[in-house]
């Protein structure tokens, strides 16, 4: 194991981690506001991939337009899911909402399976994102460099929205005390919709970058990254946006390094994120950045 | 709630009878494929091939229509067993095509065996599928043969002394084929320097690539499916791993080139047929119609699915057409001799039910699959 | 057990159930018998699952892991040493397992016990968390079991799985085990334990305040469920004759979840009704994937529609009929007689 390989894996881990981070943000925000593990969030990633695929390969849009439309459309899907499936259950037990979320997840997967078929589609990667740079034997695929940068930019924008705008403040307030905020006359449903929109927008963004990194997409592709992103969200302390991003990095980097350092454990990779998660829950149940499970904050 | 559910059930029962109401003059054939679930891609491809084959030869001798009844097994064993059971005792099919994966096929096989209904699988390559069975046959060759073909090609044509093997640990296809290759390669005096594992849901192979790179093998053997191979090849080339990649029949699909792009250039794989070389008239006709109907050339799953259908229809014809008995159909499936199918000339060994057919080696050149050579059994 | 009216009636209805099994075995097609076998196994799995999720209110997602353990243990025990030797082509099986061989009943019981032990050990860490966290941690457990079974090649044969498992399972095995499972689980629900479990479901903090040892109550539910899910796994393994890690994916848990939600979380009666509805419904729903002609209108078959319908069904039930068929109510003889009396009066 030499330095080149370690560096190589680090680059890889960071870009994978930033993708997990982007998805984890959606989990964390939704959980922060309505205390729901949005099981279908990973599938929104898949929805974003297919929308972008449809835009480029079937409607022949320029890539940036397809990406943007896909993210907006995915945001809309997120909002619709909330309005149709989760909103009627706001006052029900959290378990009912969770079961519904599992139902939504299966619905998305299977309806896309019916619409697009199970055969993996080749995702058309715009040439800007192809290629790689070689610096002293360490290879940086363009996409591996662009991904963390894009993730950072969107994280900054999100933090700005959360801390400097009226709606951002409403979101944060909701995560502290739902009822008081409602009584104070804030349009709670609108704010929740915005949370879903933002979360789904970022999930679609992550999905698109995922698809450019691994350009074969299928309707079940969102399950694994979704689960791992959730693990990342919990690891970072659910309810904390910065925590989610950090959790994503940790899961992404450690997953890749474990396989690189102990190739014989490669088979256990998928279980790894979860063992990590269980470990964290047992010894620091509030995660890295979280303060209290019942009192999330962004 | 109760009323809602019971009325729902009532409607469904009624619909079942509607759907099952059959016309006279039909030969019912069951098809069990994974149309949903993790291996849906293969089931959907095979179904395309089978449907097209049916449109090419919709009737048996004496003018009976072949009626295909497709049941989805979701790529699950319990569902496969249920589906086979339903087809036999409920739909009274006379033969079954399916399933796609070896393990699913094996879950359905005991039931077909018990009821003496012939079952022909298009793509289950594990040797155990037909072992000790009288009514299970297949239209494809088995893993040990394909692995040996790849090993021979690597040793004798590519003059490889060392090889790295990439195994998809949770796919029995990949594990079985890799095992066969490793055995044959060692027997021919080659050395396996690295065995790397990955999982179906994995999309990042950088760790494995780094390890392979450090061990400098002459070739990389990756018996997996096209999606994984294409992604692996892209990343391998990106990280400067330049050794030739050898694969199995799972590589064959347009999507391999679409996903892999320039990275899969030169990729060589063993497979069932080549449309240009050693093609039968049926190959040519099938490919032309397939491209016309679906807009892409058929992949291996589609071609094998079609062959399973054609072999079956031929057996039904020989067994008497309209009134063919399952026992007789099975006899003629097992006595298929020099049948000129889509994937080449097929003979089925009456004792084992395994297809004896030549393997073809193809490679990617200029973004197209080209013929390299044919290896006879 | 007293020889009162209710017990006699229960015994009679069990006898009636076995009579039905006998009749089904002789008069139904082998397909229908097979689906009944599935139904009974699933009933056993979901009854156990409902004990944790419904009665104790601990929403967890691990049954696929438990079923897998039971299936593997049973399969390894009933396969002959010769079969195992020919099957393990990548690496030979560890010798002490390779030479083990026994008949079906002890194998099933050992399968159940091993699963129960795993459940017991798992209970300590996972019950430190509650609510959604428990769901996700147990989901991780199910996933981990699958990953482990893929990788411990010298025990499970990895992805190649165990093939040619002897078919001992028939409708009688399933029926007897279901009756045992239902009696045991119903008796737990009716006992002081059951009341404590329900107290935890309704308000865990209050239950703690009342002096209930919540961890042990949860453990009793968990271990009981694990035992029956393990035995169910063994029955399933011998029914389908081949197991590999792909049998035990999250889809399995999803199906059980639908069953207990449709039946009503916390009601064993509901679970029984729902198992029949869901297992048979899923077979009948194959219709939506077949091409059909309704009043001359041709509708082509859409493969995959079944799962879409199921997921919509789950969402709709959660939104409009959260209680499911039975809610938390149970069928009881007293209830039946009261109803009769009520009608006469």
- pLDDT tens sequence across C99-114: 888 999 999 999 999 9
Q: What is the pLDDT of residue A294?
A: 44
Higher-pLDDT residue of C19, A257: C19
Asked if pLDDT for residue B73 goes beyond 80, the answer is yes
Question: Is residue C284 assigned to a domain?
Answer: no
Which chain C residue shows the shortest CA-CA distance from B11? C284
Residues of chain A contacting B198 with CB distance shorter than 8 Å: 266
Q: Is C290 helix (H, G, I), strand (E, B) or coil?
A: coil
In chain B, which residues have their Cβ closer than 8 Å to the Cβ of A214?
Answer: 203-204, 231
Q: Tell me if A5 and B210 make a contact (CB, 8 A cut-off).
A: yes
pLDDT of B10 above 60: no
Residue C133 contacts A, CB cutoff 8 Å:
yes
C140 touching B (Cβ < 8 Å): no
> From CA C121, how far away is CA C115, in angstroms rounded?
10
pLDDT (average), residues A60-76: 94
Q: What integer pLDDT is reported at residue B96 of this predicted model?
A: 95
Q: Is C160 on the interface with A (CB under 8 A)?
A: no
CB of C11 less than 8 A from some CB of B = no
Go through chain A and tell me how many residues it has: 298
In a domain, C52, yes or no: yes
Compute the distance between CA of residue C2 and CA of residue B135 in angstroms, rounded to an integer. 55
- Closest Cα of chain A to C173: distance in Å? 32
What was the pLDDT predicted at B18? Answer: 47
Question: For a pLDDT cut of 90, what percent of chain C falls above it?
Answer: 39
Q: What percent of chain A has pLDDT over 90?
A: 31
Give me the pLDDT at residue C5, please.
Answer: 81
CA C174 to mean position of chain CA atoms: 12
Three-state helix/strand/coil letters over B111-175: HHHHHCCCEEECCCCCHHHCCCCCCEEECCCCHHHHHHHHHHHHHHHCCCCEEEEEEECCCHHHH
Q: What is the mean pLDDT of residues C50-58?
A: 91
The answer to whether C234 and C108 have CB atoms below 8 angstroms apart is yes
Name the helix (H) or strand (E) containing A138: strand A138-141
pLDDT at C343 over 80: no
Residue B19 has pLDDT above 50, yes or no: no
B203 close contact with A: CB closer than 8 A: yes
**Which pLDDT band, with edges at 50, 70 and 90, does A287 fall under?**
low
Chains that touch B (3 or more CB pairs under 8 A): A, C
Alpha-carbon distances, residue C67 vs A23, C272, C279 (angstroms): 31, 19, 17
Chain B segment 29-68 residues within 8 A of C by beta carbon are: 35-38, 40, 44, 47
Mean pLDDT lowest among A265-274, B361-370, C278-287: A265-274
Q: Does the CA dihedral B328-B333-B337-B341 come out positive or negative? A: positive
C246 to B75: CB separation less than 8 angstroms, yes or no? yes
The answer to whether B106 contacts C30, with C-beta atoms less than 8 Å apart, is no
User: Of residues C113 and C151, which shows the higher confidence score?
Assistant: C113
Q: Which of C308, C312, C327 to mutate to test the interface with A (most CBs of A within 10 A)?
A: C308
In terms of DSSP bridges, do strands B26-33 and B65-72 run parallel, antiparallel, or are they unpaired?
parallel
Mean pLDDT of chain C: 87
CA distances from B8 to B2, B3, C296, C324 (A): 10, 8, 22, 15
Cβ contact, residue pair C140, A274, below 8 Å: yes
Average pLDDT, chain B: 86
CB distance C290–B37 less than 8 Å?
no
Q: What number is the average pLDDT over the span B235-247?
A: 89
> Which chains touch C (3+ CB pairs under 8 A)?
A, B
Q: Which of B38, B197, B259 sits opposite A215 (nearest CB)?
A: B259
Q: Which residues of C touch B13 (CB under 8 A)?
A: 284
Say whether pLDDT at C345 is over 50. Answer: no
Residues 87-116 of B with CB under 8 A from A: none
- Would you call C159 and B90 a contact, using CB atoms and an 8 Å cutoff? no
Least CB–CB distance from B255: residue in A119, A214, A269: A119
User: Best mutation site among B4, B21, B85, B136 for testing chain C: the one with the most C CBs within 10 Å?
Assistant: B85
- Mutant choice from A207, A214, A264, A265 vs B, greatest count of B C-beta within 10 A: A214
pLDDT by residue (tens digit) across B163-217? 999 998 878 888 889 999 999 999 999 999 999 888 776 777 877 888 898 899 9
Domains and CATH numbers, chain B: 2-141+280-357 (3.40.50.2300), 144-271 (3.40.50.2300)
| C90 close contact with A: CB closer than 8 A | no
Range of the domain at C62: 18-249
Torsion angles phi and psi, residue B38, rounded to 5? -70, -30
Evaluate whether residue C147 is within a structural domain.
yes
User: With an 8 Å Cβ cutoff, are C304 and B72 in contact?
Assistant: yes
- Residues of C with Cβ-Cβ distance to B19 under 8 angstroms: 287, 290-292
For chain A, domain boundaries:
20-283
Is C193 inside a domain boundary? yes
Q: Is the pLDDT of residue A293 over 50?
A: no
**pLDDT attached to residue A143:** 83
- Residue B61: what pLDDT? 83
Residue C86 vs residue C219, higher pLDDT? C219
Residue C236, chain B, CB below 8 Å: the answer is yes
Residue-wise pLDDT tens digits, C293-313: 655 566 666 767 878 888 888
A256 touches chain B (CB under 8 A): yes
Domain assignment present for residue C136? The answer is: yes
Q: Does A172 touch chain B (CB under 8 A)?
A: no
Nearest to A120 by CA among B44, B224, B33: B44
* pLDDT score of A99 more than 80: yes
Lowest mean pLDDT among A221-225, A276-280, B71-75, B242-246: A276-280
CB of B273 within 8 A of CB of B122? Answer: no
Give the number of domains in chain C. Answer: 1
């Amino acid at each position: 194991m030499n330095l080149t390989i370690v560096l190589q894996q680090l680059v890889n881990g960071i870009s994978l981690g930033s993708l997990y981070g982007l998805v984890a943000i959606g989990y964390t925000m939704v959980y922060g506001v309505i205390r729901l593990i949005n099981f279908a969030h990973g599938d929104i990633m898949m929805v974003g991939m297919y929308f972008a695929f449809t835009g480029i390969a079937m409607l022949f849009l320029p890539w940036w337009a397809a990406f943007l439309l896909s993210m907006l459309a995915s945001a809309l899907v997120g909002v619709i899911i909330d309005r149709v499936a989760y909103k009627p259950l706001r006052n029900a037990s959290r378990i009912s909402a969770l079961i519904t979320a599992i139902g939504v997840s299966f619905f998305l997967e299977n309806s896309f399976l019916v619409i697009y078929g199970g055969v993996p589609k080749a995702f058309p990667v715009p040439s800007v994102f192809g290629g790689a740079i070689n610096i002293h034997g360490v290879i940086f695929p363009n996409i591996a460099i662009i991904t963390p940068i894009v993730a950072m930019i969107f994280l900054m924008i999100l933090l700005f929205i959360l801390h400097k705008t009226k709606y951002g403040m409403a979101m944060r307030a909701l995560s502290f005390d739902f009822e008081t905020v409602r009584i104070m006359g804030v349009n709670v449903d609108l704010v929740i919709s915005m949370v879903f929109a933002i979360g789904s927008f970022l999930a679609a963004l992550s999905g698109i970058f995922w698809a450019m990194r691994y350009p074969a997409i299928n309707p079940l592709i969102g399950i694994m990254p979704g689960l791992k992103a959730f693990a990342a969200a919990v690891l970072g302390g659910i309810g904390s946006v910065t925590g989610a991003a950090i959790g994503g990095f940790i899961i992404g980097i450690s997953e890749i390094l474990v396989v690189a350092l102990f190739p014989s454990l490669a088979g256990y990779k998928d279980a790894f994120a979860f063992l990590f998660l269980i470990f964290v829950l047992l010894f620091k149940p509030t995660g890295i950045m979280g303060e209290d499970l019942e009192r999330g904050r962004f | 709630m109760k009323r809602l559910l019971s009325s729902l059930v009532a409607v469904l029962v009624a619909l079942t009878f509607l759907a099952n109401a059959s016309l006279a003059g039909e030969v019912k054939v069951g098809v069990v494929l994974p149309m949903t679930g993790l291996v849906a891609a293969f089931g959907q491809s095979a179904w395309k091939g089978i449907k097209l084959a049916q449109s090419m030869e919709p009737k048996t001798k004496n003018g009976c229509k072949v009626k295909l009844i497709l049941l989805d097994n979701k790529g699950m064993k319990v569902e496969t067993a249920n589906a086979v059971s339903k087809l036999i005792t409920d739909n009274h099919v006379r033969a079954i095509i399916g399933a796609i994966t070896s393990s699913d096929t094996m879950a359905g096989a005991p039931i077909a065996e018990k009821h003496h209904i012939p079952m022909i699988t298009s793509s289950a390559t594990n040797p155990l599928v037909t072992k000790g069975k009288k009514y299970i046959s297949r239209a494809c060759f088995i893993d040990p043969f394909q692995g040996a073909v790849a090993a021979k090609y690597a040793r004798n044509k590519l003059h490889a002394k060392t090889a790295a093997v990439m195994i998809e640990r949770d796919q029995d296809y990949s594990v079985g084929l890799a095992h066969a290759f490793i055995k044959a390669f060692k027997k021919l005096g080659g050395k396996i320097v690295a065995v790397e594992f990955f999982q179906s849901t994995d999309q990042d192979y950088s760790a494995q690539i780094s390890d392979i790179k450090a061990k400098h093998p002459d070739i990389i053997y990756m018996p997996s499916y096209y999606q994984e191979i294409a992604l692996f090849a892209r990343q391998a080339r990106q990280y400067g791993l330049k050794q030739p990649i050898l694969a199995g029949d799972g590589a064959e699909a347009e999507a391999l080139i679409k996903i892999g792009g320039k990275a899969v250039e030169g990729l060589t794989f063993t497979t069932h047929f080549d449309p240009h070389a050693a093609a039968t008239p049926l190959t040519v006709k099938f490919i032309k119609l397939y491209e016309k109907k679906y807009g892409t050339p058929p992949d291996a799953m589609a071609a094998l699915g079609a062959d399973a259908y054609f072999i079956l229809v031929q057996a039904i014809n020989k067994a008497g057409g309209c009134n063919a008995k399952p026992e007789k159909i099975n006899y003629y499936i097992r006595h298929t001799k020099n049948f000129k199918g889509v994937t080449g000339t097929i003979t089925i060994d009456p004792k084992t039910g395994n297809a004896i057919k030549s393997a073809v080696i193809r490679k990617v050149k200029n973004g197209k699959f080209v013929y390299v050579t044919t290896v006879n059994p | 057990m007293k020889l009162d009216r209710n017990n006699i009636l229960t015994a009679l209805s069990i006898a009636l159930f076995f009579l039905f099994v006998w009749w089904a075995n002789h008069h139904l097609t082998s397909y229908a018998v097979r689906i009944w076998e599935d139904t009974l196994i699933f009933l056993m799995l979901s009854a156990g699952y409902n004990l944790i999720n419904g009665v104790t209110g601990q929403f967890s997602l691990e049954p696929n892991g438990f079923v897998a353990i039971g299936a593997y243990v049973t399969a390894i025990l009933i396969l002959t040493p010769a079969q195992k030797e020919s099957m393990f082509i990548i690496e030979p099986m560890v010798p002490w397992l390779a030479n083990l061989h026994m008949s079906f009943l002890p194998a099933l019981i050992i399968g159940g016990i091993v699963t129960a032990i795993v459940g017991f050990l798992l209970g300590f860490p996972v019950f430190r968390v509650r609510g959604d966290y428990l769901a996700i941690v147990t989901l991780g457990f199910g996933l981990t079991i699958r990953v482990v079974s893929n990788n411990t090649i010298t025990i499970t044969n990895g992805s190649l799985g165990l093939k040619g498992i002897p078919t001992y399972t028939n409708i009688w095995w399933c029926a007897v085990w279901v009756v045992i499972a239902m009696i045991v689980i119903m008796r737990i629900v009716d006992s002081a334990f059951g009341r404590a479990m329900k107290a935890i479901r309704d308000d865990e903090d209050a239950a703690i305040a009342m002096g209930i040892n919540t961890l042990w109550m949860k453990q009793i539910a968990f271990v009981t469920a694990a035992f029956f899910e393990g035995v169910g796994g063994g029955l399933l393994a011998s029914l389908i004759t081949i197991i590999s890690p792909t049998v035990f994916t999250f889809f399995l848990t999803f199906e059980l979840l639908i069953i207990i939600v449709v039946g009503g979380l916390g009601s064993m009666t509901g679970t029984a009704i729902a198992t029949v509805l869901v297992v048979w419904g899923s077979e009948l729903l194959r219709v939506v994937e077949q091409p059909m002609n309704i009043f001359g209108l041709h509708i082509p078959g859409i493969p995959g529609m079944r799962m879409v319908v199921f997921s919509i069904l789950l969402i709709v039930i959660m939104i409009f009929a959260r209680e499911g068929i039975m809610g938390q109510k149970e069928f009881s003889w007293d209830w039946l007689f009261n109803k009769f009396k009520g009608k006469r009066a």
